[in-house]
């Protein structure tokens, strides 16, 4: 095997494998170094297996509602091990697909741990040997891992990270989730739907801290209605092992304390970049709070060295990683007219029940940016399709610049909004104005009509509310 390449990619997640495929398509001799599993966290321990489990949880919810549609059933049973097995099978199917795609595109794959030993020089250590590769360009796509909470994480096997929460052998009777970002909220929703008593603890003023306040309020209300206990402005100050679980002491911002006894604790308090042990210090690579600093083309401060995906910072999303990777590769390969990634147009989704999806500024961010705005909102309870589905909680909220009519933000909560958001993302990418959206025809009866009505509402003339 040759040891000189045009491009070496370290890390085979959605940042790394997409970079490698695109580079090979552009004619670059490319090698991908992966130390554990092709597909990265996303396919093996993130996006895909969580959604496969959430699909099962959604089914549990639907079955609980079936009498409304005239069905009754007896003897229904549920085995968490079978749902977990299916989730692992879906992951495996997709990671096999990545292996096939890399092969098809003539990307050389080396299983081993990569680290920089000089500019354009990468050492790969595997179980059998160690070798050095050279390339004109090196992309770091090493991703991230769960952020450990000092004094809490790792001290007891009943304290989980997302790894353990994805493969439970039995369902815990009770679970306390620390952190209510997308990951924490999805697990809270999932376990609650499967019958676990869930407590969700969030340090910030609102759950889903980066979402619009109206969306967060509705999700918290829905969670509480479902029996999830939600604590805001609270943190877990200590944990004590009991014979059958853990006693968690919660400390609230106002000084109050409360103890909660649970069978399991899930720490979902963010992630930390995999930027250590890569030889970056010796090369003088700029790193900030663990994340590799990059410019708009994913270049680090060292010539020929790039970083994409989670290791290069927020938003830590698979589609951000892949899009960053494509732009980085096209730019370094000399493709013309490549545009940098516009971070204001990256959608974010939480696949809890209710689902949440957003793109662009929240109302608070628009005010803070000094924008003069028009806001429109439309509830799903006035949408025919949502009523048909029996999923009428939620709304679509849109924010426009009052003068230019530019779409600044869209915030959706409710049925299938993780699919609907793409309509606003495309509109925003094409710089559609409110008038363009008003003039668009939306099929009836569809959930997407709520998007149209929200835009009409921002202009004072919603038709159905």
Ligand X SMILES: Cc1cc2nc3c(=O)[nH]c(=O)nc-3n(C[C@H](O)[C@H](O)[C@H](O)COP(=O)(O)OP(=O)(O)OC[C@H]3O[C@@H](n4cnc5c(N)ncnc54)[C@H](O)[C@@H]3O)c2cc1C
Number of residues near ligand X (by CB under 6 A): 38
- Measured distance CA(276)–CA(278) in Å, rounded: 5
What does the chain come to in residues?
465
Which listed residue (319, 331, 345, 464) binds ligand X by CB under 6 A?
A: 319
**Strand 130-140 to 4-10 pairing:** parallel
How many Cβ atoms are within 10 Å of 163's Cβ, its own excluded? Answer: 12
- Measured distance CA(17)–CA(31) in Å, rounded: 10
Which listed residue (21, 53, 149, 162) binds ligand X by CB under 6 A?
A: 162
Piece in contact with ligand X (CB under 6 A), picked from 41-49, 76-84, 88-96, 169-177: 41-49
Which listed residue (5, 7, 46, 239) binds ligand X by CB under 6 A?
A: 46
Q: Does 323 bind ligand X (CB under 6 A)?
A: no
Piece in contact with ligand X (CB under 6 A), picked from 317-325, 372-380, 422-430, 441-449: 317-325
Which listed residue (274, 298, 358, 377) binds ligand X by CB under 6 A?
A: 274
Residues 64-123 close enough to bind ligand X by CB under 6 A: 113-115
Pick between residue 21 and residue 366 the one whose CB is nearest to ligand X: 21
- Measured distance CA(201)–CA(397) in Å, rounded: 26
Q: Does 316 bind ligand X (CB under 6 A)?
A: yes
Which listed residue (5, 8, 9, 14) binds ligand X by CB under 6 A?
A: 14
Pick between residue 115 and residue 377 the one whose CB is nearest to ligand X: 115
Q: Does 184 bind ligand X (CB under 6 A)?
A: no
CB of 152 to ligand X, least distance (A): 18
- Token duo for residue 288: 């900030």
- Measured distance CA(171)–CA(169) in Å, rounded: 7
Piece in contact with ligand X (CB under 6 A), picked from 13-21, 81-89, 365-373, 396-404: 13-21
How many Cβ atoms are within 10 Å of 108's Cβ, its own excluded? Answer: 18
- Token duo for residue 129: 């040997």
CB of 311 to ligand X, least distance (A): 6
CB of 277 to ligand X, least distance (A): 7
Question: Are 130 and 123 contacting, i.e. CB atoms less than 8 angstroms apart?
Answer: yes
> Is it true that the peptide bond before 445 is cis, omega within 30 degrees of 0?
yes
Q: Does 19 bind ligand X (CB under 6 A)?
A: no
Question: Are 448 and 442 contacting, i.e. CB atoms less than 8 angstroms apart?
Answer: yes
Q: Does 168 bind ligand X (CB under 6 A)?
A: no
Conformational region of residue 194, where left means phi above 0, alpha means psi within -120 to 50, and beta covers everything else: alpha
How many Cβ atoms are within 10 Å of 321's Cβ, its own excluded? Answer: 28
Q: Does 318 bind ligand X (CB under 6 A)?
A: yes
Catalytic residues, by residue number, are 444
CB of 315 to ligand X, least distance (A): 8
- Measured distance CA(450)–CA(420) in Å, rounded: 10
Phi–psi pair at 52, nearest 5 degrees: -65, -40
CB of 326 to ligand X, least distance (A): 12
Which listed residue (183, 218, 267, 352) binds ligand X by CB under 6 A?
A: 183
Which listed residue (24, 30, 31, 40) binds ligand X by CB under 6 A?
A: 40
Q: Does 215 bind ligand X (CB under 6 A)?
A: no
The CB-based long-range contact list for 55-58 (8 Å cut-off, 24+ gap) reads: 56/83, 56/86, 56/87, 56/194, 57/189, 57/190, 57/191, 57/193, 57/194, 57/353, 58/193, 58/353
Question: Are 328 and 297 contacting, i.e. CB atoms less than 8 angstroms apart?
Answer: yes
**Sign of the torsion formed by the C-alpha atoms of 444, 447, 452 and 458:** positive
CB of 307 to ligand X, least distance (A): 9
Piece in contact with ligand X (CB under 6 A), picked from 5-13, 82-90, 337-345, 375-383: 5-13
Q: Does 37 bind ligand X (CB under 6 A)?
A: yes
Q: Does 42 bind ligand X (CB under 6 A)?
A: yes
Q: Does 33 bind ligand X (CB under 6 A)?
A: yes
- Measured distance CA(267)–CA(203) in Å, rounded: 13
Q: Which residues of the shown chain bind ligand X in the complex (CB under 6 A)?
A: 10-16, 33-37, 40-42, 45-47, 50, 113-115, 141-144, 162, 183, 274, 278, 309-311, 316-319, 321
């Amino acid at each position: 095997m040759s040891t000189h390449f045009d491009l070496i990619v370290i890390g085979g997640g959605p940042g790394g494998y997409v970079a490698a495929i695109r580079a090979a398509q552009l004619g670059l001799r490319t090698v991908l170094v992966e130390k554990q599993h092709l597909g990265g966290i996303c396919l093996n321990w993130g996006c895909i297996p969580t959604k496969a489990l959430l699909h099962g949880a959604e089914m549990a919810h639907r079955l609980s509602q079936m009498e409304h549609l005239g069905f009754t059933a007896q003897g229904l049973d549920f085995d968490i091990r079978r749902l977990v097995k299916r989730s692992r099978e879906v992951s495996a199917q997709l990671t096999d697909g990545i292996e096939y795609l890399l092969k098809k595109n003539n990307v050389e794959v080396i299983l081993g741990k990569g680290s920089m030993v000089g500019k354009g020089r990468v050492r790969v250590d595997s179980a059998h040997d160690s070798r050095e590769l050279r390339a004109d360009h090196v992309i770091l796509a090493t991703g991230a891992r769960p952020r450990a909470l000092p004094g809490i994480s790792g001290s007891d096997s009943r304290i989980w990270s997302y790894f353990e929460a994805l493969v439970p052998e039995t369902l815990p009777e009770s679970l306390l989730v620390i952190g209510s970002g997308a990951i924490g909220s999805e697990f809270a929703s999932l376990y609650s739907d499967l019958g676990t008593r869930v407590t969700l603890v969030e340090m910030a003023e609102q759950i889903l801290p980066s979402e619009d306040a109206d969306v967060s309020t509705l999700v918290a209300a829905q969670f509480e209605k479902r029996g999830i206990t939600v604590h805001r402005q609270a943190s877990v100050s200590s944990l004590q092992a009991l014979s059958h679980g853990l006693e968690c002491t919660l400390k609230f911002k106002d000084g109050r304390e409360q103890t909660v006894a649970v069978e399991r604790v899930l720490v979902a308090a963010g992630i930390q970049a995999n930027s250590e042990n890569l030889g970056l210090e010796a090369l003088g690579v700029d790193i900030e709070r663990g994340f590799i600093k990059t410019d708009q083309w994913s270049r680090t401060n060292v010539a020929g060295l790039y970083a994409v995906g989670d290791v290069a910072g927020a938003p830590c999303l698979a589609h951000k990683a892949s899009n960053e990777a494509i732009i980085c590769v096209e730019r370094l390969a000399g493709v013309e007219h490549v545009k940098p990634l516009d971070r204001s147009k990256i959608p974010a989704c939480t696949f809890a029940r209710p689902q949440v999806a957003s793109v662009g500024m929240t109302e608070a961010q628009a005010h803070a940016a000094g924008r003069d705005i028009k806001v429109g909102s439309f509830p799903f309870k006035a949408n025919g399709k949502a009523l048909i589905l029996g999923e009428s909680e939620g709304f679509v909220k849109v924010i426009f610049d009052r003068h230019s009519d530019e779409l600044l933000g869209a915030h959706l909560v409710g049925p299938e909004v993780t699919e609907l958001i793409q309509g606003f993302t495309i509109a925003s990418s094409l710089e559609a104005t409110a008038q363009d959206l008003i003039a668009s025809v939306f099929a009836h009866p569809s959930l997407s009509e709520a998007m149209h009505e929200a835009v009409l509402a921002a202009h004072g003339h919603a038709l159905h509310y």
